[in-house]
């Protein structure tokens, strides 16, 4: 009986276990499916949310062209500039050095030499050579060639340029890059708390551009909510997460001041300038000076048009008249002879491109000034093209060095400055020349396609304001016109003629023109119609000249110049004399 009972219990247990298994199998399957799905979800999520370890192609990222090419990071930005490594030294293109460090290096392509003007000497470099000389006989030797000519491109050694400009640079490899600093403005920085990868864009899946190491300082270039654009001290730029950085703060970097601009030994008359041009075309024209000076008041400089370039070799002809020099000196008036490149009937500019051409012109002008007792040179080189801009300013530098050695004053005539004529390098002229003369006229000129004022008050004010951005006020002279233009609009088109103040008055009377004052032009305006002809005149006279002089006095300029003697009416000298006494 007991045995039967035990068998029955065992059978019952087997029956229960079988039923349970039938019930458990679906549960196990569900758990396994959940586990598989959970692992797949976890794997998908981990891949999606984890940080990418892929590095970007750094040569493409920086734009590296070859093993000796070093893209330039300038003022925290990857620029279009490239430095280059020659024999272990670092170089930049001449035009990049001129744009960001100093524009005083000049490459004379025709001579194959590089020049740098000092106050009283000139450094001469031969590309590829480590030795250099000066015109004054000094010699120097560098570890690396100061200049290298690679094909048509001139490269300057940054270590040599540092002798003549304030900047800093550091070169790095893997990848090649060069960090250049030429200005030291306040910057926002932060310390890196935890080493982190720098990514090319904000986001953990972005490719890696470099690493910001713990304890280093980075510059904050583009702050955002969770990521910020930064640049490391070694020129790696990109994005890092904000929680890897300490609290941002501002700092003022210590500027590089290893270079001090020398005194370029310019001279000053130590009084207000009043220079009038005497326009003469032949020697006999000098005889007119006596009559023309009858009503002159307040003039302390006469500038006769005596020197002009006669060929592309730089030969200079002159129509100097010694009697007029003596006459002016007897009245306490200096003579600054004008030197131009167009009075021969042709504009010469090729002579500026060679050392021999520039030297010929300079030596002939300076020698003549010394021989005749002329006090200074007024330079009027016109019709310069952008390609000749560098040649022109080098000529001015070299002329000033030679002239100052002979105690001659140098003034340079300039157009009203605009972006399209900035290749005259007004700022560099102001370093070497004693005075800069702003030709504050020709707002509308002979070739203008529309009638207009020669020198409206807004034009004069604009020109002075722009020039003062580059030239100190105690060096700036504003030139005013003693002439006006009579404009004629006819079926044939628009034309004009430059006339004296007296003739302008006669013309208006003959044609019944009644001038009315215009506040907007700062001049009297008159017009008349006769048949098919429409006449217009923006009149220069006592009131308009007085207004211009008032603006000049407000700006505190060095003085005034007038083009030209004999075109004025007598009362004009009264307002100029009053200006000189202010």
Same domain, 81 and 219: no
pLDDT tens-digit map of 349-371: 999 999 999 999 999 999 999 99
Where a domain ends, among 168, 197, 217? 168
Same domain, 160 and 192: no
Same domain, 284 and 313: yes
- Is 43 a member of any domain? no
Report whether pLDDT(39) > 60: no
Split at pLDDT 50, 70, 90, the class of 512 is very high
- Is 502 a member of any domain? no
- Is 55 a member of any domain? no
Report whether pLDDT(18) > 80: no
- Is residue 574 within a helix (H) or strand (E), and if so which, with residue range? helix 572-581
- Is 222 a member of any domain? yes
Split at pLDDT 50, 70, 90, the class of 23 is low
Report whether pLDDT(10) > 70: no
Same domain, 305 and 360: yes
Q: Which residues have a Cβ under 8 Å from the Cβ of 444 and sit 6 or more positions away?
A: 450, 451, 452, 453, 454, 485, 496
Report whether pLDDT(13) > 70: no
pLDDT of residue 11: 45
- Is 342 a member of any domain? yes
Where a domain ends, among 115, 141, 168? 168
Same domain, 369 and 433: yes
Same domain, 364 and 418: yes
The domain in which residue 67 lies consists of 60-168
**For residues 320, 321, 324 and 330, what is the CA-based torsion angle, rounded to 10 degrees?**
90
How far is 9 from 562, CA to CA, in rounded Å?
134
pLDDT of residue 351: 98
CATH number at residue 71: 3.30.457.10
How high is the mean pLDDT of the chain? 93
Compute the average pLDDT of residues 190-217: 95
Split at pLDDT 50, 70, 90, the class of 219 is very high
Report whether pLDDT(20) > 70: no
Same domain, 321 and 456: yes
Report whether pLDDT(525) > 60: yes
Compute the average pLDDT of residues 368-378: 98
Three-state SS across 174-227? CCCEEEEECCCCCEEEEEECCCEEEECCCCCCCCEEEEECCCCEEEEEEECCCE
pLDDT of residue 68: 98
CATH number at residue 418: 3.20.20.80
Report whether pLDDT(516) > 70: yes
Split at pLDDT 50, 70, 90, the class of 132 is very high
Split at pLDDT 50, 70, 90, the class of 38 is low
Same domain, 164 and 196: no
pLDDT of residue 35: 61
- Is 214 a member of any domain? yes
Split at pLDDT 50, 70, 90, the class of 26 is low
Report whether pLDDT(246) > 80: yes
Split at pLDDT 50, 70, 90, the class of 265 is confident
- Is 495 a member of any domain? no
Q: Do you know the residue count of the chain?
A: 582
| Gyration radius of the chain's alpha carbons | 38
Same domain, 225 and 288: no
Report whether pLDDT(531) > 70: yes
CB 497 within 8 A of CB 533: no
Same domain, 327 and 385: yes
- Is 310 a member of any domain? yes
CATH number at residue 247: 2.30.30.40
Compute the average pLDDT of residues 517-538: 98
Same domain, 437 and 558: yes
Report whether pLDDT(523) > 70: yes
Domain count across the chain: 3
Report whether pLDDT(477) > 50: yes
pLDDT of residue 4: 44
Q: Which residues have a Cβ under 8 Å from the Cβ of 250 and sit 6 or more positions away?
A: 186, 187, 188, 189
Same domain, 234 and 343: no
> What percent of the chain lies above the pLDDT cut of 90?
91
pLDDT tens-digit map of 291-339: 999 999 999 999 999 999 999 999 999 999 999 999 999 999 999 999 9
């Amino acid at each position: 009986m007991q045995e039967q009972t035990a068998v029955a219990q065992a059978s019952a247990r087997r029956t229960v276990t079988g039923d349970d298994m039938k019930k458990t199998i679906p549960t196990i399957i569900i758990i396994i499916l959940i586990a598989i799905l959970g692992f797949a979800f976890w794997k998908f999520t981990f891949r999606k949310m984890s940080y990418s370890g892929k590095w970007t192609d750094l040569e493409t990222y920086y734009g590296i062209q070859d093993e000796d090419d070093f893209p330039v990071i300038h003022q925290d930005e990857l620029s279009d500039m490239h430095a280059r490594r020659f024999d272990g030294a670092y170089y930049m293109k001449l035009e990049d050095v001129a744009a960001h460090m100093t524009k005083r290096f000049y490459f004379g392509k025709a001579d194959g030499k590089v020049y740098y003007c000092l106050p009283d000497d000139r450094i001469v470099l031969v590309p590829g050579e480590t030795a250099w000389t000066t015109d004054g006989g000094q010699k120097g030797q560098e570890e690396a060639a100061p200049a290298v000519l690679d094909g048509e491109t001139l490269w300057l050694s940054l270590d040599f340029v540092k002798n003549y400009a304030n900047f800093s640079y550091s070169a790095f490899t893997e990848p090649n890059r060069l960090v250049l600093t030429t200005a030291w403005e306040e910057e926002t920085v932060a310390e890196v708390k935890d080493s982190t990868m720098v990514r090319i864009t904000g986001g953990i899946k972005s490719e890696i551009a470099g690493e910001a190491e713990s304890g280093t300082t980075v510059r904050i270039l583009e702050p955002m909510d969770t990521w910020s654009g930064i640049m490391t001290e070694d020129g790696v730029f990109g994005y890092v997460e904000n929680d890897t950085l300490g609290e941002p703060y501002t700092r003022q970097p210590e500027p590089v001041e290893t270079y001090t601009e020398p005194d370029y030994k310019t001279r000053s008359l130590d009084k207000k300038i009043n220079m009038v041009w005497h326009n003469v075309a032949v020697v006999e024209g000098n005889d007119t000076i006596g009559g023309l000076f009858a009503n002159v008041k307040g003039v302390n400089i006469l500038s006769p048009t005596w020197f002009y370039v006669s060929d592309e070799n730089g030969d200079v002809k002159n129509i100097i008249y010694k009697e007029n020099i003596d006459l002016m000196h007897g009245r306490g008036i200096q003579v600054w002879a004008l030197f131009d490149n167009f009075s021969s009937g042709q504009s010469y500019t090729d002579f500026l491109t060679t050392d021999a051409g520039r030297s010929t012109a300079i030596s002939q002008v300076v020698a003549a000034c010394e021989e005749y007792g002329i006090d200074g040179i007024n330079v009027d080189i016109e019709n310069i093209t952008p390609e000749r801009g560098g040649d022109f300013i080098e000529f001015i530098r070299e002329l000033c060095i030679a002239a100052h050695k002979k105690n001659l004053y140098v003034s340079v005539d300039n157009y009203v400055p605009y972006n399209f004529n900035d290749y005259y390098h007004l700022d560099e002229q102001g370093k070497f020349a004693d005075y800069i003369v702003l030709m504050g006229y020709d707002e509308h000129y002979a070739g203008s396609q529309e009638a207009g004022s020669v020198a409206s008050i807004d034009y004069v004010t604009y020109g002075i304001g722009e020039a003062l951005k580059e030239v100190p006020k105690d060096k700036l002279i504003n030139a005013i016109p003693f002439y006006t233009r009579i404009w004629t609009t006819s079926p044939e088109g628009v034309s004009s003629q430059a006339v004296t103040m007296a003739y302008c008055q006669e013309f208006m009377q003959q044609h019944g023109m009644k001038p009315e004052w215009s506040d907007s032009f700062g001049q009297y305006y008159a017009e008349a119609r006769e048949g098919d002809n429409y006449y217009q005149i923006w009149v220069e006279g006592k009131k308009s000249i007085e207004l211009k002089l008032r603006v000049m006095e407000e700006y505190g300029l060095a003085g005034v110049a007038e083009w030209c003697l004999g075109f004025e009416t007598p009362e004009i000298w009264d307002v100029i004399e009053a200006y000189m006494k202010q």
